[in-house]
């Protein structure tokens, strides 16, 4: 596995769908949110439409991630579970 990337599981509770994503450690949370939102919009044929309030959170404790933090700064590791709400 590439040490510059982390494999996370991401779920969108409103759809019940989850996927594994390989995220660069240098990617900011806002960039990851935009990337993942775009992916899910395409996968659902537009049924999922994110807005300005869409946030990336920890699946374990529901904590919202700071949009300015990077994947590395959040200490996300392979297998981390996230949700997009």
Domain that holds residue 42: 5-84
Number of domains within the chain: 1
List, for residues 25-44, the tens digit of each pLDDT value.
Answer: 999 999 999 988 888 888 87
Which band of pLDDT confidence, cut at 50, 70 and 90, is reported for residue 66?
very high
Tokens standing for 85? 């709400």
Buried b / exposed e across 1-38, counting CB within 10 Å, b at 16+? eeeebbebebbbeeeeebeebebbeebbbeebbeebbe
pLDDT at 1 over 70: no
CATH of the domain at 46: 3.10.20.90
Supply the pTM of this predicted model.
0.82
Is the separation of the CB atoms in 25 and 70 below 8 Å? yes
Instruction: Kindly state the average pLDDT of the residues 40-62.
Output: 85
Instruction: Kindly state the average pLDDT of the residues 35-60.
Output: 84
Instruction: Kindly state the average pLDDT of the residues 47-67.
Output: 88
């Amino acid at each position: 596995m590439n040490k510059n990337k982390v494999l996370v599981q991401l779920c969108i509770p409103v759809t019940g769908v989850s996927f594994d994503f390989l995220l660069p450690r240098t990617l900011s949370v806002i960039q990851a949110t935009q990337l993942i939102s775009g992916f899910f919009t395409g996968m659902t044929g537009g049924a999922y439409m994110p807005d300005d309030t869409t946030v990336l959170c920890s699946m374990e404790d529901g904590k919202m991630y700071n949009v300015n933090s990077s994947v590395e700064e959040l200490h996300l590791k392979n297998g981390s579970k996230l949700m997009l709400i």
